[in-house]
Amino acid sequence: MAPCRAAGFTLVELCVVLCVTGVLAAVAWPSFQSQLQRSRRADAVAALLRLQFEQEKHLSRHGLYASQLAVLGGAAVPRSPEGLYDIELHGGGDRYEARAIARAGTLVAQDVGCTVLRLQVRDGLADFAPSPRCWNR
């Protein structure tokens, strides 16, 4: 009569499964972090595009771009919708620059190269800085 073998996994099999899981997690983690940063950047993009829309409305009504956030109805808040970025407006007249600056102590402050997103509009032409990657394009 053959000896009876207990059902279950051996220690070696469990170690192999844990090693494979660890390798898969190590490969997937950077991609996951990149997607999180990209989704957080969308907060700044939304705030700056809303500001651009309000500036165009102001231009059509008054003939000039606004120089202060306070006069722009839907974009008068100096913070992005999720509160991750501070919004600044500089200029006025025929040009302006809007900035979304990552708030210190938030996760977006670690977003290398994209801590400040800038929207520059001169004579009706928009320039998005510092790079298309920062604008999720």
**Is the CATH number 1.10.3720.10 carried by domain 11-135?**
no
pLDDT at 42: 93
Residues 103-130 as b/e (b if ≥16 CB within 10 A, e otherwise) read beeeebeebeebbbbbbbbeeeeeebee
- Say how far apart CA 12 and CA 132 lie, in whole Å: 48
| Predicted local confidence at residue 118, as pLDDT | 97
Domains of the chain: which residue ranges? 11-135
C-alpha 124: how far from chain center: 25
End-to-end Cα, the chain, rounded Å = 70
- Give the C-alpha separation, 80 to 102, whole Å: 10
Q: How confident is the chain (137 residues) per 10-residue block, as mean pLDDT?
A: 73 90 86 83 94 93 93 86 94 93 91 93 92 89
pTM of the complete model: 0.78
